[in-house]
Amino acid sequence: MFENIEKAYEYIRSITDFVPDAAVTLGSGLGDVADSIEEVAAINYRDIPGFPVSTVAGHRGRFYFCKIGGKNVAFMQGRVHYYEGYPMQACVMPLRVLHKMGCRLLMLTNAAGGVNFSFNAGDIMLIRDHISSLVPSPLIGENYPDGTRFPDMSNVYDKELTDIIRNTAAEIGLPIKEGVYIQLSGPNYETPAEVRMCRLLGADAVGMSTACEAMAAVQCGMRVCGISCITNLASGMSPKPLSHDEVKEMADIRGPQLRRLIVESIKKF
């Protein structure tokens, strides 16, 4: 797996010498957030040797390199998931490639189900912490050469970056929630009983990504922050059946506001 990181890095470097100051992973339905930002370079995942390819609708599957406020920013328009059949090590490979390119700051975004009864579809949640114990750790196996074997997870989501996002949201008049994100494996949505379990564990939002990426980024020494777009209430909290179309529809609606929050926050990082 680690040799694929080197191959991917060499391929990207054959196309661009872009060194990202920050990277942003765009979750389900949020890929269009980067489209109106002027492109420096773009590379499709499927063109990169040994690189995992997104297979889910709403995940375009490419790196989009651009500039925001004088900073070099790499957007990941789509991610890969454990439920697609990839091992966890492959799910975090893209951010390790970004780290090798020189990136030291990672913003993770996702579409998530609201577990907290005070949340509503369309809310934006600033991630304060996560629960990842119900899915395999991406750090299992041979230790990543650029990361410590036993990384501390006391402060996964960087307090300074979190404060910047919170203050930026207030400046632009965007109400946001804050809470704990829990990652489950998917691809099925959770049962009502599983949602109650998540709530008892202290989760406010549930999804199928993000926590594994945050863990791998912290192991590399990257600073991490995260934002969830609450696209629906989780199973059992509303009579409406859950669907991926609903997730994409709400992400499309909230995309412009999330884009502004991301852009204005990055300018202050």
| pLDDT one-digit tens code per residue, 25-46 | 998 667 677 777 888 899 999 9
Query: Which pLDDT belongs to residue 29?
Result: 64
- 107 SS3 class: strand
Alpha-carbon distance values, 123 to 110, 208, 259 (Å): 12, 18, 14
Furthest-apart CA atoms within the chain: distance in Å: 52
Q: What is the predicted pLDDT for the residue at 57?
A: 65
Lowest mean pLDDT among 75-89, 97-111, 138-152, 246-260: 246-260
The pLDDT value given to residue 1:
66
For residue 82, the 8-state DSSP code is G
Q: Determine how β-strand 71-77 pairs with β-strand 62-68.
A: antiparallel
Evaluate whether 266 touches 148 at the Cβ level (below 8 Å).
Answer: no
Active site residues: 28, 59, 81, 83-84, 111, 208-209, 232, 244
pLDDT above 70 for 58: no
- Number of other residues whose CB lies within 10 A of the CB of residue 265: 25
Q: Are 113 and 250 in contact (CB under 8 A)?
A: no
Please tell me the class of the 2-268 domain.
alpha beta
Q: What is residue 23's predicted lDDT score, i.e. its pLDDT?
A: 97
